[in-house]
Structure 1
Amino acid sequence: MYGYGYGYYSMFDPTMILVLIGVFLSLGASAKVKSTYARFSRVRSMTGMTGAEAARQLLNSQGIYDVQIRQVAGSLTDHYDPRTKTVNLSESVYGSTSVAAIGVAAHECGHAMQDASEYVPLRLRGSMVPVVNIGAQLSWPMILIGVLVGGMGSPIVSLGILLFSLSVLFQLVTLPVEFNASARAVRLLDSTGILRGEEVGYTKQVLGAAALTYVAAAAGSILQLLRLIILFGGRRDD
């Protein structure tokens, strides 16, 4: 009876719907951020500042002088690296004078400000990276090995699911970090006059679209974890 049930389940796995939902959320968020960035990358800021210049002014306004601003290859590859104290701006942001570019640059400066103020969620996320990397590498192999060696209810499978859940937790911790960086960016762009009037609203749209990618990633991870729990969590071989 168990063998028959498992064979039917392998042919028609309703939990794949959860995975597909996650994929659609991710694709939708990616399309949204690309279209929004493309739209406002054609809007030149009134100050005419480049992304790099805006980043430098924002950091200086907060008394942060030990962070370097660098140009990196690629499109939308912008990131802040706390290990090297660098705001890394992509080619489409570093020298661009668009509202979109300035918004993205300001967001990365928001992370530098978090680092300087020892923002707790950022510190927590950073401390999780080594463990999460190990968990990401081992979770699926352990689940597969556990099923092959000990069956669906193997403790090895449970351990694999636990390791995968670390990635989910990391995604959840990432959300306040990203939202806070964007909030800092918008507030300072407005108060310093780097962006003016409706430009601030445009930047909110760009950063809001970017935030959706993190929300989609977290949702996708949660759905995948739920699928694993449904598939393996309640099964115990006789």
Structure 2
Amino acid sequence: MFYPGFLFDSTYLILIPAMIIAFWAQFKIDSAYKKYKTVRTLSGVTGSEVARNILDGAGLFDVKVERYSKHLGDHYDPSLRVIRLSPEVYDSATVAAAGIAAHECGHAIQHQTHYAPLALRTKIAPVVNIGSSISIYLFMIGIFLGNPLFAKIGIIFFSGAVIYQIITLPVEFNASTRALNILKTRTFLYGEELKGAQKVLDAAAMTYVAATLMAISQLIRLIAINNRYNDN
């Protein structure tokens, strides 16, 4: 039976708390990054120099540091063993740049030490990416065409994306902890600079928390819609 309330119905209320947290988290990261991307460090070391120094200190001479064109698209690619930093991080000697560069180095060090959550996330990523990209379509087909099997498969695939988000939390928090410890012990940052970097990284971590809550809320909504469909 076709369920006309799928596109807009009361189950959207399930998403509201997560949406509020997501807006708040985005505001926090925007404001923290905007502030500390203009605060130059006393050391005068750029983000790329911070990254190279940390990697070499950890014996990761084979991990490259590259400039990446996407704004705030900084990331570590474990498959190619490369850290990609956006221009405002790669070229800037600011508190925000140092914090972000160190965070990505934290991921490289996780990879080096076989940090279990990162290894698991990397392993399931290809399957999760495929499953999450088709999950909603399968669910909609199941609901609109009255096929409960497709709806259930869609929910199962989307559950994989939720699991991926949950695994991401310890990966990101651990990388930030590693980054702050390195920045402190290697004296890239001093006093208030270190506090500023922590604010940037804490705000960034909240965006992952918000994404996880949103994914969980969406999964609950899909289950609620499916249950309503089955009751009808």
- Give TM-score, length-normalised by structure 2: 0.93
Structure 2, gaps ≥5 residues long: none
C-alpha spacing 1:81/1:18, structure 2 compared with 1 (3 Å): same
Q: How does 1:76-87 map to 2 (within 5 A)?
A: 76-87=72-83
- For 2:171 and 2:143, locate their aligned partners in 1 and report how far apart those are by CA, in whole Å: 36
Please identify, of 157-166 and 24-33, the stretch whose mean Cα deviation from structure 2 is larger.
Answer: 24-33
Shift of the alpha carbon at 1:235?
Answer: 4.5
Pairing of 1:1-238 with structure 2 (within 5 A): 13-151=9-147, 154-233=148-227, 235-236=229-230
Distance 1:150 1:15 in 2: 19
Letter in 1 for 2:39: V
Q: What secondary structure does 2:125 align onto?
A: helix
Could you list the structure 1 runs, at least 4 aligned residues long, displaced by more than 6 angstroms after superposition.
none
Q: What's the CA shift for 1:121? A: 0.5
Counterpart contact for 2:96–2:200, Cα < 8 Å: yes
Deviation at 1:149, TM superposition (A): 2.9
The 1:185/1:12 distance shift into structure 2, 3 A limit, reads: closer
Aligned residues: 232
Q: Tell me the CA shift for residue 25 of structure 1.
A: 2.5
- Rounded to whole Å, the distance in 1 between the matches of 2:6 and 2:159 is 23
TM-score (norm 1): 0.91
Say what the alpha-carbon RMSD is for the aligned residues.
Answer: 2.0
Max radius of gyration: which structure?
Answer: 1
Structure 1: segments with no counterpart, 5+ residues: none
